[in-house]
Chains A and B, each alone.
Chain A
Amino acid sequence: MKQRLFVLHRADNVGTALDDLEKGPVAIIGEYDLKETECVESVKFGHKMALEDLPAGAEIRKNNVVIARAFKAIQSGQMVHLHNIESQFDERASTLDTDTGAPTDEDVYQ
């Protein structure tokens, strides 16, 4: 079965992986003009993939709502998560472990 990416709105620049994506062609499901795109690195189930090249500072749109800003350039087909985008409000999120989401800023455990 072909690996799938779900896109919620025509104006979005990210989609959500419905499978564990590997490098290669990806079928787009949902409201988007393209029916297929290319994944360039592993993107885990539920995580986001860029649908276009995004410069640093770009607004990240999902369901036509700005959900974050890129703090570094992201290539089309790359995974989009804590390692390259950040909330417009929540500063602590940027300090979390990009893989597990666990906090890294508390020294209380020492």
Chain B
Amino acid sequence: MTNNKNLLKATWQGYLRPDGRKGIRNLVLVVYTVECASFVAHAIAHGEEDTHVIGFPGCYDNAYAIRIMLALARHPNVGAVLAVGLGCEYTQPKRIAEVVRESGRPAESYFIQDHGGTTSSIDKGKEIVRRFRQEIASVPRVEMGLADLTIGSECGGSDATSGLAGNPVVGRLYDYLVDAGGTAIFEEVVELISLKDVLQSRGKDEAVRQQLGATYDKAMQYCKDVRQWSTAPGNYAGGLSTIEEKSLGAYAKSGTRPIQGVIRVSEQPKSNGVWLLDSVPDEHFMQFGYTNPNDSEGIIDLISTGAQIILFVTGRGSVIGSPVAPLIKVTGNSRTYKKMENDMDFDAGRILSGEQTLDESALELLQLVVEVASGRPSKPEALGHREFFIPYKYQHTPSLESGCRA
């Protein structure tokens, strides 16, 4: 086993951003502001080094979606931003570029309609991306350790092993991360069903306990209203019988340390420690659909809080990745690991076969986290997976609402 003390004090070279946050990647982000611009945005990024794409498909703007795009554009892993629109849509690429420039990063924008169409817009975008890559090559490097990391965790394609191995290993890793001064974000409040008391008892003080209770109640009401609970056919095929049972497993990834509070999508945690991310819609005259549209949506929500790495626990197996922050895929099911070894980063199922203890598994995963933070690509990252999903949604987020409208 690796020397724990050395692992917990591991350092590597990160990228220092003007706001003081530290990134583990130095990306150029291409942002499109309507589906009509998505082909051009993807074509611009295609073949360009460390250049990722995100965007919002809707023509009518949505404050929640704009806040996500702004959070991703100013993420610690991002060094420069190109915003591309068609020209008709409500969401304004120019405004996005302005906000990003105010953060001290190079940013530009244009409308495709102003530049002659597909080919010339792609050429223009590639010229800008290449210029940005040269510019951000001189971003100052800075020493980083676990205390500088924010790690998000998500589960998808859960089976019975997720609750017995995959999520508990992430939970133990979170305990190590938090004790080392780092920040851990878990979400999926709609997968904490029946666990209100357990969740509340983790709050660091009475105010947080109240906040956790209110967050739970809101999620419960939303599930009842839309009559959808966060389970899928694969969960049942994998041995889980109810949302309550799935919730038990999902909760295990939060570890055991006190919860500091609840943040909403695109908010940044106010201190280190464990935070619950509430991604459930708030009441609005339009109902914005189901609770968990897909895994990529939850992963983007986590990245919007500034998480530099995401741990994705999947018992059944999954072939997604993520833009902006590398995804590390953990499975508690050794059969899945063997079947999908090219996609899975880590086999936590070894604790069920008795090959490893929970602690040994968590420390080995932490070692992998340190390597990915140091620049080693995770498997989905190396395969080029960059899936994302930004839907229309309404969340009441007073701390972020200046300058946006619903």
Contact surface of A with B, Cβ cutoff 8 Å: 6, 8, 16-18, 44-48, 62-63, 65-68, 80-82, 85-93, 96-103
Mark each residue of chain B from 187 to 213: 1 if its CB lies under 8 Å from any CB of chain A, else 0.
000000111001000000000000000
Q: List 20 A-B contacts (CB under 8 A).
A: A6-B352, A16-B160, A18-B352, A44-B239, A45-B335, A47-B160, A47-B239, A65-B248, A67-B242, A67-B248, A80-B241, A81-B239, A81-B241, A89-B193, A89-B243, A91-B227, A100-B236, A100-B237, A101-B232, A102-B233
> Is the C-beta of B245 less than 8 angstroms from some C-beta in chain A?
yes
User: By the criterion CB–CB under 8 Å, are A68 and B245 in contact?
Assistant: yes
A93 to B228, CA, bound (A): 10
Residues in chain B near residue A47, CB distance under 8 A? 160, 239
B282 interface residue per 8 A CB criterion: no
Report the separation of the CA atoms of residues A68 and B194 in the bound assembly, to the nearest whole angstrom: 10
Are B244 and A65 touching (Cβ within 8 A)? yes
Chain A residues with CB under 8 Å of B36's CB are none
Q: Which residue of B lies closest to A91 (CB)?
A: B227
Tell me whether A48 and B237 are in contact (CB under 8 A): no
Partner of B194, one of A16, A46, A65, A97: A65
- Among A81, A87, A88, residue most surrounded by chain B Cβ atoms (within 10 Å): A87
**Chain B CB within 10 Å — which of A17, A80, A93 has the most?**
A93
Per the bound structure, the CA–CA distance linking A62 and B335 in Å amounts to 24
Determine whether B164 belongs to the interface, using a CB cutoff of 8 Å to chain A: yes
Interface size on B, residues (CB 8 A): 32
> Would you call B148 an interface residue if the criterion is a C-beta within 8 Å of the partner chain's C-beta atoms?
no
Whether the pair B164, A16 counts as a contact (CB closer than 8 A) is yes
B353's nearest neighbour on chain A, judged by CB, is A18
- The verdict on A68 contacting B239 (CB below 8 Å), with A18-B352, A89-B223, A96-B233 known, is no
Asked whether, in the complex, the Cβ of B244 is within 8 Å of the Cβ of A68, the reply is yes
- Cβ contacts B257-301/A at 8 Å (1 or 0 each): 000000000000000000000000000000000000000000000
Contacts of B361 in A (CB 8 A): none
The closest CB in chain A to the CB of B232 belongs to: A101
* Chain B contact residues, CB within 8 Å of chain A: 159-161, 164, 193-195, 198, 223-224, 227-229, 231-239, 241-245, 248, 315, 333, 335, 352
Chain B residues near A80: list those with CB within 8 A. 241
**Identity of the chain A residue whose Cβ is nearest the Cβ of B193 in the assembled complex:** A89
- Once the chains bind, are B244 and A85 in contact (CB under 8 Å)? no
Known: A65-B248, A67-B248. A86 touches B161 (CB 8 A): no
Known: A62-B248, A87-B229. A46 touches B242 (CB 8 A): no
If over half of A's interface residues share one DSSP class (helix, strand or loop), that class is named, otherwise mixed; here it is loop
Closest to B229 in A: A90
User: What is the CB-to-nearest-CB distance from A85 to chain B, in angstroms, rounded to a whole number?
Assistant: 6
Contacts A6-B352, A47-B160 given; does A90 touch B239 at CB 8 Å:
no
Contacts of A48 in B (CB 8 A): 160, 239, 241
Query: A47 vs B335: C-alpha distance in the bound complex, in angstroms?
Result: 15
* Residue of A17, A87, A91 touching B244 (CB-CB under 8 A): A87
**B236→A66 contact, CB < 8 A:** no
Query: Closest Cβ of chain B: how far from A86's Cβ, in Å?
Result: 7
In the bound assembly, the distance between CA atoms of A17 and B233 in angstroms comes to: 19
Q: A18-B352, A89-B223 are in contact. Are A68 and B248 (CB under 8 A)?
A: no
Given A16-B164, A47-B160, A102-B233, residue A67 in contact with residue B352 (CB < 8 A) = no
CA distance A65 to B250 in the complex (A): 14
A66-B194, A67-B248 are known contacts. Are A87 and B243 too (CB-CB below 8 A)?
Answer: yes
Contacts A16-B160, A87-B229 given; does A68 touch B242 at CB 8 Å: yes
Shortest C-beta distance, A42 to chain B (Å), equals 13
Whether the pair A101, B235 counts as a contact (CB closer than 8 A) is yes
In Å, the complex CA distance between A66 and B197 comes to 13
Interfacial chain B residues near A16, Cβ < 8 Å: 160, 164, 239
CA distance A100 to B233 in the complex (A): 7
When distances are taken between beta carbons in the complex, the residues of chain B under 8 Å from A17 are: 239
Residue among A67, A68, A88 with max Cβ neighbours from chain B (10 Å): A67
Known contacts A46-B161, A93-B229; decide if A82 and B236 are in contact (CB<8 Å). Answer: yes
- Report the 7 A-B pairs with minimum CB-CB distance, sorted nearest first: A101-B236, A46-B239, A46-B160, A101-B233, A87-B242, A67-B245, A90-B229
A77 to chain B: closest CB distance in Å? 17
Bound form: Cα–Cα A96–B229 in Å: 13
Other-chain residue from A8, A65, A88, A90 in contact with B195 (beta carbon distance below 8 A): A65
Q: Which residues of A are found within 8 Å of B160, using beta-carbon distances?
A: 16, 45-48
- Given contacts A46-B159, A47-B239, A81-B239, are A66 and B244 in contact (CB under 8 A)? yes
